[in-house]
Structure 1
Amino acid sequence: MEKSRIIVCHALALFLLLPLINLNAQDATKIDPDHYKVELENDKVRVLRIKYDPGEDSKMHEHPEGVAVFLTDHKANMKTADGKSMEMAGKGGDVVWVDRAKHQPKNTGENPFELIQIELKNNGKVAGKKSLHLFELPDGISENQLNDFLKEMNKAISEEGYPEAGYHLYKINDENAEYKYFMEGVWPDSATYDKIHDSEKWKAAAEKGKDIIDKIQAQELYLKAEKVN
């Protein structure tokens, strides 16, 4: 029993010290796919290609901090969440650091403009809700199978408009540990957790891996945590 308590304490320490992220962004690719396309995404960054024709504007949305690389000259008006607006202009080849911001751009120039925006993940912001699953790999389930299934789950979550939420799989290297794997679930808050888990895309992805989920749930240690404000 004492061994189990030690394992849980170590796991919770890892759980609380992992890089944490803010997940409250309104995803531009979800609400404005005509102008924002994902070119590349992994657990470190998401790379967007952004294109606006003359006179086109977007909907109010939010980006995490990152870098913008302008491929063309540009002239734009940028409305901000507080109701203000600012004029922006620059040249193709400009590289600009961008802080986390909520805005609504409009191309006020006579020509189309295009840029690449590199959004950074794991930027030190705290998620509102987390879950931790400690378990052994069930018989007949490989590490690659589980990891591929979690990628499908995360894809469904991203398509719901929460690209930074989802599941992360870790392998415990301590040879004396009772459990060999833990899976972290990261969520903005309880309400969003419920919304994601009630979505049709999440349910469809979960159904494909029902056998894996059932086998893990039969023997896992499951913990939930919410941020103390």
Structure 2
Amino acid sequence: MRIFKFLSSNFLFVLLLIPLAGIKAQDAVKVDPEHYKVEVDNPQVRILRISYNPGEESVMHGHPEGVAVFLTDHTAKMKTDDGKSFEMAGQKGDVMWLEKSKHQPSNIGDKPFELIQIELKNNIAGQKSLHLFELPEGVTERQLSDHLKEMNQAIREEGYPQAGYHLYKLQGTNNENYQYFLEGVWPDAATYDKIHNSEKWKEIAEKGKEMIEKVRASELYLKATRVE
């Protein structure tokens, strides 16, 4: 297992690489519904709300690649499918990029912990970007959603219907750090460059430039490339 940590502003970005050893992993929601609740499920992502009381342990299960956002401080023990285990601790607001993995977590702390896990479904894409943010002052959800629809239309007209941007709102009351996340999906870097250099895309992007710059000023930006 390899763990990489990157500090960016006041955010912690952790990349965990835990191989699946070729074994099909069980779905967390099916095998452990007590700890894993589905908040959103659509063709692009599944968003889970995960909670453990002190001393509670899950069963071995798997997740696709995605992002975890911790809503509380946490002290946990993680067993992997190769029989090894490790402990991990962190703070409320920590963000982790997760590769496809199989594990069995438990809460070894003295307080409950809770997190949101965003599981990515679109396996056609070779590259993804995730932007976690709160709506800036002067920007509404409808304005941002409508702008992204225009951008996606321009991307489809370039011949890439499966690429583009998807906006999601995090549910629940314990999400002080982020209200929304924006997912960008691209087959590869060359396609990304081609789309963003097209005149049609540039025209749409210019219309929403001020709004997007406000979002970027306070966002947490994560970029990932599929590991083959």
Aligned partner of 2:144 in structure 1 is 146
Q: 1:8-157 maps to which residues of 2 (within 5 A)?
A: 13-14=117-118, 17-20=119-122, 125-157=123-155
Larger fraction in helix: 1
Aligned partner of 2:174 in structure 1 is 176
Percent of counterpart pairs with the same letter?
Answer: 61
Measure the CA separation in 1 of the matches of 2:125 and 2:97: 21
Deviations 1:102-138 (A, max 9, x none): xxxxxxxxxxxxxxxxxxxxxxx43100000000011
Aligned partner of 1:166 in structure 2 is 164
Measure the CA separation in 2 of the matches of 1:7 and 1:228: 16
Aligned partner of 1:220 in structure 2 is 219
Task: In structure 1, give the amino acid aligned to 2:200.
Answer: K
Measure the CA separation in 1 of the matches of 2:179 and 2:227: 29
Measure the CA separation in 1 of the matches of 2:171 and 2:198: 35
Measure the CA separation in 1 of the matches of 2:185 and 2:120: 11
Task: In structure 1, give the amino acid aligned to 2:218.
Answer: Q
- What residue ranges of structure 1 are gaps of 5+ in the alignment? 21-124
Larger fraction in strand: 2
Runs of 4+ in 1 over 4 A off after TM superposition: 6-11
Given the superposition, is the C-alpha separation of residues 228 and 6 from structure 1 closer, same or farther in structure 2, using an over 3 Å criterion? Answer: closer
Aligned partner of 1:86 in structure 2 is none
Measure the CA separation in 1 of the matches of 2:126 and 2:96: 24
- What residue ranges of structure 2 are gaps of 5+ in the alignment? 1-9, 11-90, 99-114
Query: Is 1:5 aligned to 2:94, yes or no?
Result: yes
Measure the CA separation in 2 of the matches of 1:219 and 1:127: 26
Measure the CA separation in 1 of the matches of 2:196 and 2:181: 20
TM-score using structure 1 length: 0.50
Q: CA deviation at 1:194?
A: 1.1
Aligned partner of 1:210 in structure 2 is 209
SS of 1:185's equivalent in the other structure is strand
The two structures, once aligned, show a CA RMSD in angstroms of 1.8
Q: CA deviation at 1:6?
A: 5.1
Report the number of matched residues. 122
